[in-house]
Structure 1
Amino acid sequence: LGLALRTRFERSGAVADLDEAIDVARQAVDTTPTDHPDHAGMLSNLGLALRTRFKRSGAVADLDAAIDAGRQAVETTPTDHPDHALYLSILGVALRTRFERSGAVADLDAAVQALVMASEVGSAAPSVRVWAGRAAGGLLASSDLGRAAGLLEGAVRLLPEVAPRGLDRPDQQELLGRLAGLAGDAAALALADLSAPMDERAGRALGLLESGRALLLAQVMATRGDLTDLHASHPHLAEQFTELRDLLDQPPSSSIWFTSTDAGSAPVQDREARDRRRVAAELGVLLEQIRSLEGFTSFALPPTVEELCGQAGPGPVVTFNVNAYRSDALLLTDQGVTVVALPDLTPALVVDHINAFHQALADSGDPDPDADRGAAQRRVREILAWLWDTAVGPALDALDYKKSPADGQEWPRVWWASGGLLSLLPLHAAGHHTSRRDPGYRARTALDRVVSSYTPTIGALGYARQHTTAPPAQAQTLIVAMPTTPGLQHQGRLSEVAREATQLQARLPHPILLTETEPDADTGSAGKGDQTPTRTAVFTHLTEVTIAHFACHGSSHPTDPSQSLLLLHDWQQDPLTVASLAPVNLDHARLAYLSACSTTLTRSQQLLDESIHLTAAFQLAGFPHVIGTLWKINDKYAADIADSFYARLTDSEKHVDTSRAAHALHDTIRSLRDQLPLTPSLWAAHLHAGA
């Protein structure tokens, strides 16, 4: 009853509900025997209600009473009980709240102690332990960097266990979304901890970012190298690990999250507690066994610098970390990891520029004849110049890429692992783009110095490279064309798609065309047949083809990026989404070209580190090369870019060298930029991801 009343207060704001919630919560405590397994849960719920009233009224007596109730809950719960971590965390939050109000150092110390103890309860759900470790690290960040960094590193190491496969994907995203930015915080604190040499700090920070980003893509697409390799060589151990991990992260029946809106329930019974302790112990023993095997010493641990450097042979990987503690570019080469501090790249400033950039993009396409589209393009160029000055330029300078390669010289390649906020901006197009070059012009643009590619993580890049073996002797091409789209206003007409498809049929080997036919004038519906671009038809052909080209509408879901989709004939009934690509087996895949809007855009800020979008999904599903887009693209220029791209990738006999995909796109975009330097919205959206 108390929980229900508190929930109603959260919805309506009626103080009488909150007062009654506290009264009945006290009755629940008083009428439950002190040795009853539910007693601690009753105390904890009372503490939550009292802290809620303190936040509403500011009455210190309520906060003091909340802390007393929290301490009693902790003291009456066995230290190895899974709920012990939960009660410690709730107590830690209450103590932190009192410290923030009074500044009493004793409260700060007690809050840290409670949260650290919570993070160390091995039988607790990993999500509870991660939250507690992060909270403790945040409290220590200003006074004890080394300890804070260690706590956040421990939390990052637990992240892969937070979202078990047994949960639905939306629930997995919700759990990880609550912990957004943890890897970035941990990396920033690791870099700020001056007790270690810089090269050691750099390797540690990069390993943390690698371990804490793109976890769902790695898990769902079966591309976590550790688990995939373990399955291949020791399948029994892999099955044991997965089973124990998933069991351990099932929340106990009394789980209450750390927001005041959650209802919670009674504590688990002793048998469940014993079971969870047994599972935690078994998992620890199993991890020791796995790590004793040759080739698995770092299983479920952040990758070593040596393991990461193995992916930097073809070119450096630049990983950005934009963080409130500090912002940096981590440069991975085959020689190691170096750090470029980026002091002007604060999260608030990046957010401001992202908002301005996307507003300028929208304004640049405003059909109103009175709209100042020239001013909008100027604003886009200004932000691309800012992106160069604060992030991309310093990174390329540090890599000694300071000018354009000489004629006939091979262009160097750079992979961008943007992560977080910078994934919303076109790093490959950063620079000072002008209509004419002065005699002393320096190539102050990424396009004029390097060939750019993107990857969600370094591990994902390694996975893509595993699929770059020689293509089958007879390459086939799937062309999916949607000149009209059922269910959209005006049939979603794309007037240039038919031309795009025709050009590709002439250029590419053994084309298979799936195309939407014009709607019938009487019925308004399109004809159906074997060549209709349904999801089933597309998936059937994907398993056979080397190249897949989609010319259609794309949509980035605003809150659930796993539901971002390509709009095919049956998109309303059976959509081709990010999540739907997981089970597809693409042995022959080499190149996917997504000539659609916003296929590399994640709009959910809480899940930016996860890189959940169509471009990454195609890459991790088996395509080592993917061409995607960051925003809405122009129909005519999209067709021109595709034709120019394939012209650079094929010879007169339709032989396709997909290994040159990044170079072909770079040359295409650079050429169009030279023609239209003042309108970057038309040429800067396209990017290459993968090997």
Structure 2
Amino acid sequence: MSDHDASKADVYFTRGKLCFRLFQLRRKTEDLDNCIRALEQGKTIATDSHPDYPDCEFALGSALKIRFQLHSTMSDLDSCICSFQRAVEFAPETHANKPIFLPALGFECIQRFQTTGNVADLDLAIQSYQHLHTVLPLDRQPPDTLYRLGYALLRRFEHRGDPADLDAAIISHRSAAESPSNSRTGKATYLRSLADCLVVRFEYFGDVNDLDEAISALRGIIESVNESPLVLAGCLCSYGNALFLRFQRFRSRDDIEEAADVQKRAIALSPDSFSGKHSYLTNLGNTLVARFGQYGDINDLDDAIALQHRAIDLLPDTGLIHKPVYFANLANSLSSRFGRSKQLIDIDTAISLLTQVIDMTPNARKDKPAHIFTLGNAYLLRFGWLDDLKDLENAIMCYRRAVGLVADNDPTKALYLGHLGGSLYRRFNRGGGREHIEEAIAVGNRAVSLTPQDHPLLANYLSHLGYSYMIRFDSYGEQTDIEKSVFCHRQAVERTINEGTDKASYLNGLGLALSHSFQHSKEARDINESIDVFQRAIKLVPAEHPGNLIFMGHLGSAFKYRLEAFGDPDDRDMAMDAFRTAFSDSRSKNGDLSFYRQTCRAWAGLVLRSSPETLAESFAAWESLVDLIPRTAWLGRTISERHGQVSAIGEDVRRAAAIATLCGRYTEAVEWLEQGRAVIWGQQLNLRAPVDELMLKEPELAQELTRVAAELDAVSTRVDQEWSLETAEGAAQRNRRLAEEWEELTKKTRAIPGFENFLQPKRLPELQKATRSGHIVLLNVAMQNCSALVLSPDSKEVMHVPLPRLSYQLAETLKNNLRSVLDASHTRARSSRPYIPGARKDGNLAHILSIIWKTIVKPVLDRLGFEVSKSDVDTLPRICWCPTGPLAFLPIHAAGLYDQPVRGYTTSDFVISSYTPTLSTLIPTSEPPVSGQRTPSILAVGQRNTPSLGSLPHTGDEIMKIRDNANGFQVHVLEDEDATVDRVREGMTKNNWLHLACHALQMSNSPLRSAFYLHDGSLTLEELITKTASHTEFAFLSACQTSTGDEDLSEEAVHLAAGMQLAGYRSVIATMWSIKDEDGPVVADGVYSRLLLPKPDSTRAALALHCAVKRLREDTKPKQLNDAWFLRWVPFIHMGV
């Protein structure tokens, strides 16, 4: 008998059937394997024309299906489907078993789709079920085949969005439900599937009739099915979903409450072993999130998140197609909780999850735009907390992408457009261009026009559009814009029937529009209605709702506007009550920072203008604002990002200190100025603070603090401009987690007896330790008051020195005049520039210095009782100046009347001057001082010819002067080609003194990019602050602009000299502007002759510079004073101890 003999094939077919029978009896895997092997051998022998070939293929596929169910090996499922396909292909249409082959093939294709998500499997399944219609009349088809056809059509619609698939799915499910062969339980199952399809059609196309039919059908099923708990559970879950959707449309509290109740019943009826329980859990989670959004019970959110996590845990390995949806549901729950709790890990996790969801979701899936939109919402939420412009830009990008992925007739188009408009007006408010607000209005109008008049979200779109019109009115003053804004907000209110948080939000928008209208029109009816609607909004939300505080702040502002217009003292009282209420609540620290700063200023300004007796309340208002500093400059951001945030702090802190001074609260004034100045440097220094004492008491905690501090210090200086979005997001989240860990560890440390003040803002007794080297004079300049606050070594009290002749405007004028002189003198780079008489009007610097003397320095010296020293210069008292605001850019140390023939009219006649950005940098870190503990050595760097920059021929002489004064002192020199970035870096780690004679540049647009220029590159401030060493002592920065900061960050001391202090150099000589190249050696000689003899001592740096500059000043003094003379010696300053 040949191998191709049909009878031999029959033998294998029979053997396969017998092995299968054995497997059924014994349930042994080898029997199943033998069955598959025999059938495979049989079909290779038989020809396609063998009468049993289709049955053999089907039997083989059935065996492979069982083995797949046992071992989950995908190749078995693939082979199963191939065998079923061949069975269908080779069975004639009249074959008795073809009506069995077709639905079996369809079923397995659906199974594979549920595992892989490949839509081609749905195509094959649908083709198989539709083929069945041609071989078996519809009325003879089992209802489960109609049900599965409907399922496959629905899933394909979700992926490709063809409405014909959804309509066909509804027809199939309706036919299954109406089949006369149904049992009561079967009918319930099929009716539930029909209802689910109707719900989907409602979601996508908005026909309420579909939703009503679904709810009616499901209610009827629930009332009739009791014998099968699992069937009842499924119907309850679907019923809950339909009620949830109706709640979203009509906002009926009865719907959302019933939805939650029936979904809980469904879960209770389903054991964890039930394969579909995960869907019930995630659906209830969604319902609870919606209920929280409407009624604000935080427990709903916690429960929702727990449910979503549990749903994901129960998701089977074959449920990969559900994973993106479940991740998205969890992300939505976390985003909602963040909106209340402000725990950044929630929104960070949500964004990470949604990013994964989008990556996992095929482009063709109908729900992909929804996931992208949800990610945009998450970015926008985080922007509201962190105020990070990148988040707002990402939100806009997501909304644009979602809008572009849906057709105009898609009901979600308006939703995406509405949110795009809202994000665009926010972008305009954050320094955007007019194109942003114009587009916001255009897309807002489009969202409104695409939305049915009875749609509940129309109010939301109108509200967004109203804000856009209001913002454009504020910027460009077009009267019709504010009229349109009021109209849109009023429409939003009137279209919202439900008296809940949504209506309160729309009332708030209307109140704002009316307030803005009043400020232009001064019509009493506008401000009266504004106050009325704010009060209505407050009544509509629970007292614990965060919106309550915002509405209260807006109400206070409205009363303030009416007070200013009409002068009714009752309005003043009402405004102060509203402001007081808003800021007395601890939740005000968790709201919108810019809003609270703005409202706090309004409160403080109101009470200050009211009467002198209300100064104490103004003090409380500013104290609330100072309390916001830690959040404004949070460690969870990079240094560069924090600089962007703190630019607004300086003015607020100066005003706060001025009010404290007016109240006689000098201690608080000093403490606030310290807390609000050089905030970023202070944070970085805290990260580098020694923990020796803690190590003795709690070594494990100290080690954790040290580890986290080091990681946080490193990650906070990152630069991520060139990173991918995913990489930058990961780094930013790591930064935030470390900051949170740091906060938790410092909290634990402060709970230990004796460490209660660990890294807390320093109080006056601690700050007094900074006076070890002499008097410290804080110069505060604000609109309300200008004064000096003096800390002295021999007093525990703060001395207040009024400066009545100084004003903020005068300080600004002096700063601007000085800048004009410097610009005209081309002092931005160290050079051998000549003085050109007549190039500008002379005498400007003498005039500036005389005003500083009369308005600032002379009153301070008189109050301290200082007289002109008649003895040796070594006995001169020392003042460390700590100027604020525009004064930070003025040469206080050089103030004087230089046209006087006798001594006693210049600062240097009375004192030795130093500067400090903060008091903390002067506080000794150890006893005794660093100098003298080890033999110092100096790294001297000189750059005569830096590539692409001007020649500095005298830097060589400058280095030589250091060598001449060395007296056995180790001097390590790097000049010209040897002065590379790497060698200078290495030298800084080996030497505790540093002298840099080179070009330097302050980058005003990017302060951390300010740098010293070496032979092969630059050493930036950004890099300097990442280096710190305990051995460093003194640095002489003989370069240009090394102590010139950023005018927008006047309180932050963002300059190279401060960077050197942060890197550990506690005593620094620097320059306020570029020096004349030939003067470098003169000053260096004078400084080092005093510093190195009789032995090296960096604590004499201020005295040494005083003497060296005095010599330069006297040796170069012309017969007639001119600016060129002042420009030579004034720029040299000392900073630190």
Work out the CA distance in 2 between the residues paired with 1:354 and 1:85.
40
Q: Quote how far apart the aligned CAs of 1:338 are.
A: 1.1
Work out the CA distance in 1 between the residues paired with 2:1019 and 2:539.
52
Specify which of 602, 608, 615 is matched with residue 145 of structure 1: 615
Compared with structure 1, are the counterparts of its residues 60 and 318 closer, same or farther at alpha carbon in structure 2 (3 Å cutoff)?
same
Alignment of 1:364-383 (within 5 A): 364=825, 371-372=837-838, 375-376=841-842, 378-383=843-848
Is the partner of 1:123 in helix, strand or coil? helix
Q: Quote how far apart the aligned CAs of 1:661 are.
A: 0.9
Specify which of 754, 762, 767 is matched with residue 294 of structure 1: 754
Question: Is 1:211 aligned to 2:680, yes or no?
Answer: no
Compared with structure 1, are the counterparts of its residues 33 and 669 closer, same or farther at alpha carbon in structure 2 (3 Å cutoff)?
farther
- Greater Cα offset, 463-472 or 183-192: 463-472
Match of 1:338 in 2: 799
Work out the CA distance in 2 between the residues paired with 1:85 and 1:537.
57
Does the 8 Å contact 2:1008/2:1021 carry over to 1? Answer: yes
Q: Quote how far apart the aligned CAs of 1:31 are.
A: 4.7
Specify which of 549, 558, 561 is matched with residue 1004 of structure 2: 558
Does the 8 Å contact 2:880/2:914 carry over to 1? Answer: yes
Q: Quote how far apart the aligned CAs of 1:495 are.
A: 3.4
Does the 8 Å contact 1:482/1:515 carry over to 2? Answer: yes
Match of 1:545 in 2: 991
Match of 2:63 in 1: none
Look up the equivalent residue of 2:632 and give its one-letter code: V
- Greater Cα offset, 136-145 or 342-351: 136-145
Question: Is 1:303 aligned to 2:763, yes or no?
Answer: yes
Question: Is 1:670 aligned to 2:1113, yes or no?
Answer: no
Work out the CA distance in 2 between the residues paired with 1:292 and 1:446.
47
Q: Quote how far apart the aligned CAs of 1:507 are.
A: 4.5
Is the partner of 2:623 in helix, strand or coil? helix
Does the 8 Å contact 1:472/1:588 carry over to 2? Answer: no
Match of 2:813 in 1: 352
Look up the equivalent residue of 1:387 and give its one-letter code: I
Work out the CA distance in 1 between the residues paired with 2:860 and 2:751.
36
TM-score in terms of structure 1 length = 0.79
Does the 8 Å contact 1:131/1:179 carry over to 2? Answer: no
Look up the equivalent residue of 1:451 and give its one-letter code: I
Compared with structure 1, are the counterparts of its residues 586 and 292 closer, same or farther at alpha carbon in structure 2 (3 Å cutoff)?
closer
Compared with structure 1, are the counterparts of its residues 17 and 492 closer, same or farther at alpha carbon in structure 2 (3 Å cutoff)?
farther
Work out the CA distance in 1 between the residues paired with 2:940 and 2:849.
33
Look up the equivalent residue of 2:657 and give its one-letter code: A
Does the 8 Å contact 2:1028/2:1062 carry over to 1? Answer: no
Match of 2:1129 in 1: 683
Work out the CA distance in 2 between the residues paired with 1:292 and 1:35.
49
Look up the equivalent residue of 1:456 and give its one-letter code: P
User: What are the Cα deviations for residues 71-130 of structure 1, in whole angstroms up to 9, with x where unaligned?
Assistant: 344333333344433333333333323332333333332322222222222133363555
Q: Quote how far apart the aligned CAs of 1:188 are.
A: 1.9
Question: Is 1:389 aligned to 2:854, yes or no?
Answer: yes
Work out the CA distance in 1 between the residues paired with 2:620 and 2:1024.
37
Question: Is 1:494 aligned to 2:952, yes or no?
Answer: yes
TM-score in terms of structure 2 length = 0.50
Q: Quote how far apart the aligned CAs of 1:350 are.
A: 1.5
Match of 1:136 in 2: 603
Does the 8 Å contact 1:118/1:132 carry over to 2? Answer: no
Is the partner of 1:222 in helix, strand or coil? helix
Is the partner of 1:601 in helix, strand or coil? coil
Work out the CA distance in 2 between the residues paired with 1:191 and 1:480.
46
Specify which of 534, 538, 543 is matched with residue 74 of structure 1: 538
Compared with structure 1, are the counterparts of its residues 506 and 301 closer, same or farther at alpha carbon in structure 2 (3 Å cutoff)?
closer
Alignment of 1:479-558 (within 5 A): 479-486=940-947, 488=948, 491-505=949-963, 507-508=965-966, 509-517=969-977, 531-534=978-981, 536-558=982-1004
Is the partner of 1:443 in helix, strand or coil? coil
Work out the CA distance in 2 between the residues paired with 1:226 and 1:26.
59
Compared with structure 1, are the counterparts of its residues 289 and 165 closer, same or farther at alpha carbon in structure 2 (3 Å cutoff)?
closer
User: What are the Cα deviations for residues 634-665 of structure 1, in whole angstroms up to 9, with x where unaligned?
Assistant: 2222342223322332249xx53212111110
Is the partner of 1:352 in helix, strand or coil? helix
Work out the CA distance in 2 between the residues paired with 1:394 and 1:168.
41
Look up the equivalent residue of 1:312 and give its one-letter code: T
Look up the equivalent residue of 2:602 and give its one-letter code: A
Q: Quote how far apart the aligned CAs of 1:217 are.
A: 1.4
Match of 1:44 in 2: 508
Look up the equivalent residue of 2:604 and give its one-letter code: G
Work out the CA distance in 1 between the residues paired with 2:651 and 2:1075.
30
Work out the CA distance in 1 between the residues paired with 2:474 and 2:703.
44
Work out the CA distance in 1 between the residues paired with 2:874 and 2:972.
37
Compared with structure 1, are the counterparts of its residues 372 and 70 closer, same or farther at alpha carbon in structure 2 (3 Å cutoff)?
farther
Match of 1:623 in 2: 1065
Match of 1:248 in 2: none
Q: Quote how far apart the aligned CAs of 1:230 are.
A: 7.5
Question: Is 1:661 aligned to 2:1107, yes or no?
Answer: no
Unmatched tracts of structure 2, length 5 or more: 1-417, 423-439, 442-467, 709-739, 828-832
Does the 8 Å contact 1:130/1:156 carry over to 2? Answer: no
Q: Quote how far apart the aligned CAs of 1:465 are.
A: 7.1
Work out the CA distance in 2 between the residues paired with 1:623 and 1:290.
29
Match of 1:220 in 2: 684
Does the 8 Å contact 1:354/1:424 carry over to 2? Answer: yes
User: What are the Cα deviations for residues 1-47 of structure 1, in whole angstroms up to 9, with x where unaligned?
Assistant: 46433256667666656554544444444455645554444443444
Larger radius of gyration, structure 1 or 2? 2
Work out the CA distance in 2 between the residues paired with 1:88 and 1:228.
47
Q: Quote how far apart the aligned CAs of 1:601 are.
A: 1.7
Match of 1:528 in 2: none
Does the 8 Å contact 1:188/1:205 carry over to 2? Answer: yes
Look up the equivalent residue of 2:575 and give its one-letter code: A
User: What are the Cα deviations for residues 162-217 of structure 1, in whole angstroms up to 9, with x where unaligned?
Assistant: 21111233442333222332222222222222xxxx5xx33232222222222121
Please state which structure has a larger fraction of its residues in helix: 2
Work out the CA distance in 2 between the residues paired with 1:110 and 1:373.
60
Aligned length: 617
- Greater Cα offset, 541-550 or 342-351: 541-550
Question: Is 1:155 aligned to 2:625, yes or no?
Answer: yes
Question: Is 1:320 aligned to 2:779, yes or no?
Answer: yes
Match of 2:661 in 1: 191
Q: Which is bigger in relative contact order (C-alpha 8 A, separation at least 6)?
A: 1
Look up the equivalent residue of 1:566 and give its one-letter code: F
